[in-house]
A = this chain, B = another copy of it.
């Protein structure tokens, strides 16, 4: 997966390939698994393109999301984060220490089947976040439970 691939996809969806969009895609590609907020993206982009404004980053993220190139992830109270949509995944977040685990959509298949069977609902979970306790914290805390 290269920036040119992404730019091509962009064009295929009828969107223009501007400097800002290339820059956003480049940074997201560079970030790998890491999810970035609009602000973090803007900061990184500024290193190479000081003129690209935060508001443009927001608009760009919006276009790219609409185009289906990137996906949005929402963690608790934190600002929204973005990542390439190349591979869907979900998160398990430890409520105590904040550790996050990524897991495959396959894990949710039983749920999807159940919702389809019971309600005719066709689940298409884009980015789920499941709370809980990671192995370490759950070992350390025994039965007592935090908020």
Contacts and interface: CB of A to CB of B under 8 A. Distances in A.
Interface of A: 65-66, 68, 74, 92, 94-95, 101, 103, 107-108, 110-112, 114-115, 118-126, 128, 130-135, 138-139, 147
Top 5 A-B pairs, shortest CB-CB distance: A120-B135, A110-B110, A123-B132, A124-B132, A122-B138
B95 A124 contact: yes
Contacts of A126: 131
B119 A92 contact: yes
Contacts of A107: 111, 114-115
Q: Interface on chain A toward B: helix, strand, loop, or mixed SS?
A: mixed
B92 A115 contact: yes
Contact of A134 (B94, B95, B121, B131): B121
A116 B92 CA distance: 11
Given A68-B147, A103-B115, A132 B121 contact: yes
Nearest to A125: B130
A17 to B, nearest CB: 20
Given A103-B118, A119-B135, 19 more contacts: A92-B115, A92-B123, A101-B121, A103-B119, A107-B111, A107-B115, A108-B111, A110-B111, A112-B132, A120-B138, A121-B132, A121-B135, A121-B138, A122-B133, A123-B130, A124-B131, A124-B132, A124-B133, A128-B130
